[in-house]
Amino acid sequence: MTRPFLPPWWAKNPHVQTILPVLTKVDLPVLSRQRLELSDGDFIDLDWLGDPCNASSIVVILHGLEGSSDSHYVRRLLRDCHRLGLCAVVHHHRGCSGETNRLARSYHSGDTQDISHTLAYLQQHFPQAKLHAVGYSLGGNVLAKYLGELQGNSAIDRAVIVSAPLQLSACAKRLEKGFSTVYQWHLIKQLRQKVIDKLNKKTFINQTSANQTSVNQAAITLKQVGKLKTFYQFDHQVTAPLHGFEGVDDYYAKSSGLGYLSKINRPTLLIHAADDPFMTADVIPAISQLGTDVTYELHPHGGHVGFIDGGTPLKPRFYLEQRILHFLTMNNEGIESSESSLKPKKTPLSM
């Protein structure tokens, strides 16, 4: 069994929980990179830990917005997988592996096409291995949507979803308030730079063929990019048009993972913190919105992908990795799945 999550007195503040992990990254195990070419001319980069040819299971990791295998939470999970002798692979969203992707389009919170491609590749080349998936933040929303869309056809055997913005519109508005604007500014700055790079390289052009209408086109100039200050503005002027949505509201409505939870029929653990500075109470599912295979944990503290539960400020200890790996390996250990959900309550999250 795993220990309960109890943050120390010095880590009960949500911003300490969110920021301190970034400042105390652990060493990254040695990884090997593989590139998957896509049918649309773009690519996905995978970072491998271990040998999948001899693995009975593979932990597939989906990082958050502008994350990578270098993200603090991915580093820690890979370190613990290495300690346990588990094979793992990081699926990089387009343009997040350190090299700009080739097309104007990038990735978004509801893009399940790319992870479907990666999972199909893994199934084909390593049929002996069960696929266990972990999605953080944006990657968690993508994972929830994938599981709900595919249901019985999902390639995933077990899954864990951490700090997922399951109601995108509410989360975008939350990041326009208080100290949360600092997180928004940091992420928007990175997203804008990627758009600027593509504009300078003239990647944003009409791409047409005899059987295809114009795609991957954002009607935006360098001057306009500099004026994008919020996620709502960025998603309306860049994300939505690049990925075939009518606008930001259409994008948020169709891409939010909340409505897919009831359709999930794979053992799935969903973890939220009530004080997450990226969220509002709108992300908390009602019991009726959870599939019978979904275990839900709502913790009073934890911040955004934080969940520090001990150690010291210079060397914190974390709840997430031991909880994630216990859930994913339960069947491997011969443990009956007797997880009980922490019943969600529709109470406002801390601001």
pLDDT single digits (tens) 256-274: 999 999 999 999 999 999 9
Residues in CB range of 136: below 8 A, 6 or more apart: 61, 62, 63, 64, 67, 71, 73, 74, 162, 163, 164, 305
Same domain, 225 and 123: no
Same domain, 63 and 211: no
Task: With H, G, I as helix, E, B as strand and everything else as coil, classify residue 228.
Answer: coil
Same domain, 268 and 218: no
Phi, psi of 20, rounded to the nearest 5 degrees: -55, -40
Catalytic residue chosen out of the listed positions 93, 301, 304, 309: 304
Same domain, 23 and 81: yes
What value does the mean pLDDT take over residues 67-74? 98
Among 166-170, 316-320, 344-348, where is mean pLDDT lowest? 344-348
Write out the two tokens for 261.
């939870």
pLDDT at 19 over 60: yes
Catalytic residue chosen out of the listed positions 57, 69, 71, 137: 137
Q: What is the pLDDT of residue 164?
A: 98
Question: Which residue, 255, 289, 317, sits at the end of a domain?
Answer: 255
Same domain, 153 and 57: yes
Catalytic residue chosen out of the listed positions 47, 111, 114, 276: 276
Q: List pLDDT tens digits, range 209-233.
A: 333 333 445 668 888 898 999 999 9
Same domain, 157 and 30: yes
Same domain, 299 and 157: yes
What value does the mean pLDDT take over residues 17-22? 98
Q: What is the pLDDT of residue 77?
A: 98
Question: Which residue, 240, 255, 270, sits at the end of a domain?
Answer: 255
Q: What percent of the chain has pLDDT over 90?
A: 84
Q: At what angle do helices 113-125 and 138-150 cross, to 10 degrees?
A: 70
Same domain, 298 and 251: no
Q: Is 243 a catalytic site residue?
A: no
pTM (2 decimals)? 0.91
Structural domain count, the chain: 2
Same domain, 86 and 231: no
Same domain, 3 and 151: yes
- The CATH number of residue 263's host domain is 3.40.50.1820
Distance CA 136, CA 158 (A): 15
Same domain, 152 and 271: yes
Query: Please, where are the H alpha helices in 104-260?
Result: 113-125, 138-150, 168-174, 180-200, 222-225, 231-234, 240-242, 248-255
Same domain, 159 and 286: yes
Q: What is the pLDDT of residue 332?
A: 52
Residue from 108, 159, 151 nearest 133 by CA? 159
Structural domain range at position 238: 171-255
Q: Is 137 a catalytic site residue?
A: yes
Q: Is 276 a catalytic site residue?
A: yes
Question: Which residue, 237, 255, 273, sits at the end of a domain?
Answer: 255
